[in-house]
Amino acid sequence: MLFKLSMSGLKSKLKDYIVLLAGLVMSISIFYMFETLAMNRTFIEANSMIGPIQFVFHAGSVLLAIVTFFYILYANSFLLSLRQNEFGMYMMLGAKKHKITFLMFIETIMLGIISMVLGVAVGIGLAEGIGRLLMKELEFPSDGYHAFYVPSLVVTCIFFFVLFFISAIMNILKLLRVTILQLIHADVQTDRITIKGKRTVVMAFFSILLLLIGYAAMINMAVLQHFGVIIALITITSGTYLLFMSFFPLIIHKMKKNKKRTEKGINAFTFAQLNFRINSLTKVLATVAMLIALAAGAITAGMAFKNNVHIMVDGFNIYDVGIHNPTAEEKRILEPITFIEKHEYRYKVDEKFVYYLKEDLMKNPPLVQTGKAREDFGQTKNVSEDLPVGAESAGGKNEAKDMIKLPAEWAEAMNTIEPYYVHPKLRIKIVDQKMYDQLQGKEGLVWIGKSDDFMKYTKVWKQIDELQLKKYTDLKAERMNSKYTNYVGFNSISSGTVYMGFFLGIAFLAMMASCLMFKILTGASKDIKRYEMLRKIGVRRELLTKSMYKELFMVFLFPAILGIIHVLIGMKMFSFILVNPYYRVWLPIMLFVVIYAIYYFITVQLYRGIVLPKEK
């Protein structure tokens, strides 16, 4: 009997449970995908470069798990509030409280099992599609990778089963604390905030103070490190809730008191709708603001890592390619590339030195970094220092006291021109034309070039590096330090980060959608009578529809503004990792705004279909 009542309860609130399921399925599927990408041992052992990505996806799983934990507790608590009246009626008809609590326990566990089955199924699909896409992006073999991976399946099922069990226990404890009368009259209780008074002023003060502390912690993350993350997490979360609880009711109250605004159309009704049950609305909107910050922040941070790859690569390697004594095959490979700068430098080699010709170097001075400061990273200039004849590269302990050292800029430039592996035991010495002609050593030629777009010719750079490894047999790829090898290293981390950020963002957006829809759509049934009354006294459907758009626009607007502010300030916490965390930051923000706007219009249409159905 209890099972039948439980199934009946699930069917009666099917729309609300579908909204919850959407968020749960998305979070479970993405959690499974992250764990699959991070735990495939055979695949990881076959591809040593996957190491940084493995850490990235484990970190994403942890963050998703923390947010999902609180989301499940909140969502199940909200669904419990919808069923309070129903449970009260069961108890009025003679049902024992422990039977009702067991009924709620069954529903929560059933919901968990359904969401886990659907989530794992979707997760396997994502692991197959996204995993293959990631491997194609990073250009490494997929041997040993399996989308259906038992260890990640076990971890996912155990973790989410524990979450649902804890949620079910908490719902039971909540039910045990309320009386039958509280359950029956739950739907008719109003929930208003006192706008005036010292309490509101204190809450407003502390909300701003906590947010400022949190923002300061994120800006100074390089100094505070892990401690800064904890400070920001606590202060920004609590500050956001206090801000909505103190300022949002005040804003609505001021709008409602403005006669010019309220007397226009049916704005009085719109503001009355917002003012109704405003306390629960503020808590929901604070939760939504935090989920928006996490969603937009995850997408923005992921794309920031990707956008900074070419900045990092250009900063560490000015020239795209450098070849000593280029072969006919190397010349043929480089022929289609458009170079904006290319130079050739002659040298001779004996048993002690590599002699570079001063006239060649001074005629075509190479590029070097403009300075050592962080803001100068990636900025270049031609070497402007004088190059004395007889100058030598550093010789360590065996340096002669009267040795002329290479000037700093030229020393930096020569590290590019003369990589350590070409003549590993020899030092560099600068000679003029007369001295060069008298040398009997073997003559060589070094060729360096910078193309119009490094990213456009990555396949060519890969071929050049492969030929260099054949030419210098003792050289290992990971120690080559070419621009392409650095690009592969940075790209391997950023690609995992951008995928993780995108899918974390999608998961958080799904949770945010669920939270806001819970509040708007589940409360829509109570608004039907008010809209029917307005229709009966002659208010046009167009005016009522316009009122809905205004009301829900304000509900959507405030958390979006605060969430985006959190993101824009929060990007500063990556400034000690990324050269420019705000590079093209508008792109992910615009992407989020478009998705958020689409979700807004869908919500309005769903709400409109409930409270203002089409007239026959």
Report pLDDT for 112.
83
**C-alpha distances out from residue 589 to 63, 133, 492, 504, 583, Å:** 21, 24, 24, 15, 12
Q: 224-257 burial, b for 16+ CB within 10 Å, e for fewer?
A: beeebeebbeebbbbbbbbbbbbbbbeebbebbe
- Please compute the mean of the pLDDT values over residues 409-428 and round it to a whole number: 88
Between residues 311 and 432, the one the model is more confident about: 432
Report pLDDT for 263.
61
Average pLDDT value over all residues in the chain: 78
Angle at 210 between CA 209 and CA 212, to 5 degrees: 65
- Please compute the mean of the pLDDT values over residues 539-566 and round it to a whole number: 85
Could you give the CA distance from residue 501 to residue 440 in angstroms, rounded to a whole number? 59
Listed range (32-46, 59-73, 120-134, 323-337) with the worst mean pLDDT: 32-46
Report pLDDT for 10.
62
Listed range (278-282, 386-390, 445-449, 532-536) with the worst mean pLDDT: 278-282
- pTM (2 d.p.): 0.73
Listed range (132-146, 184-198, 284-298, 342-356) with the worst mean pLDDT: 184-198
Tens-digit pLDDT profile for residues 563-573: 899 988 988 88
pLDDT at 407 over 50: yes
- 3-class state of residue 96 by DSSP: coil
Tens-digit pLDDT profile for residues 342-390: 899 999 998 888 999 999 999 999 988 886 666 667 788 888 888 898 8
Report pLDDT for 523.
67
pLDDT at 432 over 60: yes
**Confidence band, pLDDT 50/70/90 cuts, at residue 47:** very low
pLDDT at 453 over 80: yes
